C-alpha cells in the first residue's frame, strides 16, 4: 500500500540525504512492512500562516515496524525505512 504523508523540512532533508532511516507516526493507517511512504515536504510557518506543500517528495519503503509498548505512546509506530530511487 502507498501512503502520502506530510513531512516538515528538517526531517525531509534528513530522509532525502539518507541520515534519517526511521519514521515515527501515529498508526492511523495500519502501516505494514513493505508499504511505500511518499513523504512530501511541507513548510511549517511559525507565524500562524497555513502550512503549504513545497513541491518536493521522496519515496521510501517500510522495512521494519515496532508498536507500543516498545517505548512508544499508545497508537504510535516506529518504522525502519529505506529510500527508493
Task: Give pLDDT tens digits for 6-60.
Answer: 999 999 999 999 999 999 999 999 999 999 999 999 997 777 778 899 999 999 9
Domain 2-83 belongs to what topology? 2.30.130
CA distances from 50 to 9, 44, 47, 53, 56 (A): 15, 8, 9, 10, 18
Helix (H) or strand (E) holding 78: strand 76-83
| Predicted pLDDT at 25 | 96
Residues 6+ apart with CB under 8 A from 58: 12, 15, 16, 38, 39, 83
| Predicted pLDDT at 10 | 93
Q: What is the pTM of this model?
A: 0.90
Locate the domains of the chain by residue range.
Answer: 2-83
* The pLDDT of residue 63 is above 90: yes
Amino acid at each position: 500500500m502507498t501512503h502520502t504523508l506530510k513531512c516538515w523540512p528538517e526531517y525531509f532533508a534528513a530522509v532525502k540525504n539518507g541520515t534519517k532511516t526511521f519514521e515515527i507516526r501515529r498508526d492511523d493507517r495500519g502501516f505494514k512492512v513493505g508499504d511505500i511512504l511518499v513523504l512530501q515536504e511541507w513548510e511549517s510557518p511559525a507565524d500562524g500562516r497555513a502550512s503549504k506543500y513545497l513541491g518536493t517528495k521522496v519515496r521510501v519503503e517500510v522495512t521494519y515496524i515496532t508498536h507500543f509498548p516498545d517505548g512508544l505512546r499508545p497508537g504510535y509506530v516506529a518504522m525502519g525505512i529505506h529510500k527508493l530511487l
